[in-house]
Amino acid sequence: MPPTAVLVDAYTSGNHLPPAFAKLGVDVVHVQSTPELMTSMRPPDLGAYREAVPHGTPEETAARLAEFAPICVIAGQEPGVPLADDLSERLGLPGNGTALSTARRDKYEMIEALRRAGVRCADQLKSGSSDTLVAWAEERGRYPVVVKPLSSAATDGVAICRNAEEVRKAADAVLGTVNIFGEHNDEVLLQSFLDGEEYMVDFVSYAGERYACGIWQYHKKLKDTHRIYHRDSITPPDSGTAREIIAYMHEALDALGIQYGPTHAEVIVTAEGPALVEVGARPSGGLLPDFHDRCLGANQGDVTALAYARPREFAEHYAGRTYRKVTEATLMFLDTELDGVVESIDEDVVAEIEALESVHTFVPKLAPGKRMRPTVDLYTATGSVHLYNRSADALGRDAARIQQLKDRVYRLRDDTGWTA
């Protein structure tokens, strides 16, 4: 029997892990942490797995997995982090353990873990009362502040508030709702605003040794109280900013007990230095292996599989090292002000975008029959485009053309008729 890796909740970018392990001769088994597969994310391709183990108690699941003698248990997406921690501990496998598992999912506990370790972080309060949150913001007397759910992702429910009225409105919009993972928002997190440039930072760790897979600077647009994703660009690994962020992330990951596996973090570089927005102990949602190989010289999925399947090779070739900037590149998220039902996709417009010199992959996110709404977060973006080009000018021209074409990808209908 070949060696086996266990993936928990391998939604969205977790789908890149089975082929990464397959290249190393490792089979994969899937575990889901919920009774039914979640519908808010791209589901795992269960055909890529030797077996799919249904939801059960941790004790039952660990007993079933022991039959495969797995080499590791990894979270493929955010909801699977606590169960992956639990199962790897029960099975005596390399993992981050359960002692700080809550701090790796609950954003309040995450920042408090950093504070206890003396790592730079935001001020914060959590509460189930919008009155309490407003009172804290007013007493603190420094706006803007940030309102967000405790355990969601992709800017779901995140609002930047400039006054007490906006804090109350944002908190009330989250309280009592369900996040994208089906979890109830009984409390809301309120944090001080971290002023500075924001970066996406991806690592792979094994036994405390780490490889920096990539640092991308976010370029976001402010829309009302929401900062929506627009595009990102590679931060040169030899820059002072990259070195400062990497040093900070070692401290943050240590404070959260993350010694193994892939991580995806957002960091803002303030006047005082880098400060963590949040980190997920799972692969980056933007992982696209071929694209990252071309742009950065390696990709997080393959490096993760190598670390668990062949730790010595990981230590020799990746531990203590960083990505390379091979070419200019960007990931664009398409936003819209349109509102209507998608009648069809204009394939000629799609073909024009895909034919642009710099375009690696274009993914329209909406199918016919789906509702398009004005973009307020990552989940209401209408599509994503990966671009790379050795010429920054050519890359910029192609990105500008995509902006001109983005609202023509879909043919919409609304209550008054057709909207192009």
Query: For residues 75 and 8, what is the distance between their CA atoms, to the nearest angstrom?
Result: 5
- Pair 193, 162: CB distance under 8 Å: no
Query: For residues 214 and 292, what is the distance between their CA atoms, to the nearest angstrom?
Result: 9
Burial classification of residue 116, based on how many CB atoms lie within 10 Å of its CB (0-12 exposed, 13-18 middle, 19 or more buried): exposed
Query: For residues 205 and 259, what is the distance between their CA atoms, to the nearest angstrom?
Result: 6
User: For 123-192, CATH number?
Assistant: 3.30.1490.20
Other Cβ atoms less than 10 A from the Cβ of 112: the count is 15
Q: Would you state the pLDDT for residue 22?
A: 98
Helix (H, G, I), strand (E, B) or coil at 152: coil
Q: Is 155 left (phi over 0), alpha (psi -120 to 50) or beta?
A: left
Q: Would you state the pLDDT for residue 184?
A: 78
Q: Would you state the pLDDT for residue 186?
A: 84
Q: Would you state the pLDDT for residue 300?
A: 98
pLDDT confidence of 420, banded at 50, 70, 90? very low
pLDDT digits (tens, 9 = 90+) for 292-306: 999 999 999 999 999
Residue, of 68 and 154, whose pLDDT is higher: 68
- What's the token pair of residue 28? 């994969």
- Pair 222, 317: CB distance under 8 Å: no
Most confident of 35-49, 280-294, 372-386: 280-294
**What CATH homologous superfamily does 329-419 map to?**
Pyrimidine nucleoside phosphorylase-like, C-terminal domain (3.90.1170.30)
pLDDT digits (tens, 9 = 90+) for 320-346: 999 999 999 999 999 998 999 999 999
Q: Whole-number mean pLDDT of the chain?
A: 92
**Mean local confidence (pLDDT), 378-383:** 85
Query: For residues 60 and 57, what is the distance between their CA atoms, to the nearest angstrom?
Result: 5
**Mean local confidence (pLDDT), 354-378:** 92
Which backbone phi and psi does 46 adopt, to 5 degrees? Answer: -70, -15
pLDDT confidence of 64, banded at 50, 70, 90? very high
User: CATH topology for 194-326?
Assistant: D-amino Acid Aminotransferase; Chain A, domain 1 (3.30.470)
**Mean local confidence (pLDDT), 377-398:** 92
Q: Would you state the pLDDT for residue 159?
A: 87
Residue spans in the chain of domains classed CATH 3.40.50.720: 4-90
Q: Would you state the pLDDT for residue 227?
A: 63
**% helix, strand, coil for the chain, step of 5:** 35, 30, 35
**Mean local confidence (pLDDT), 154-175:** 85
**E strands, 224-357, in order:** 226-234, 261-270, 273-280, 328-334, 340-345
Residue, of 385 and 175, whose pLDDT is higher: 385
Q: Would you state the pLDDT for residue 149?
A: 86
Of the chain, the percentage scoring pLDDT greater than 90 comes to 81
What does pTM read for this prediction?
0.89
pLDDT confidence of 154, banded at 50, 70, 90? low
Give alpha helix (H) positions in 23-154.
58-66, 81-90, 107-116, 130-140
Q: Which CATH architecture has domain 4-90?
A: 3-Layer(aba) Sandwich (3.40)
Residue spans in the chain of domains classed CATH 3.30.1490.20: 123-192
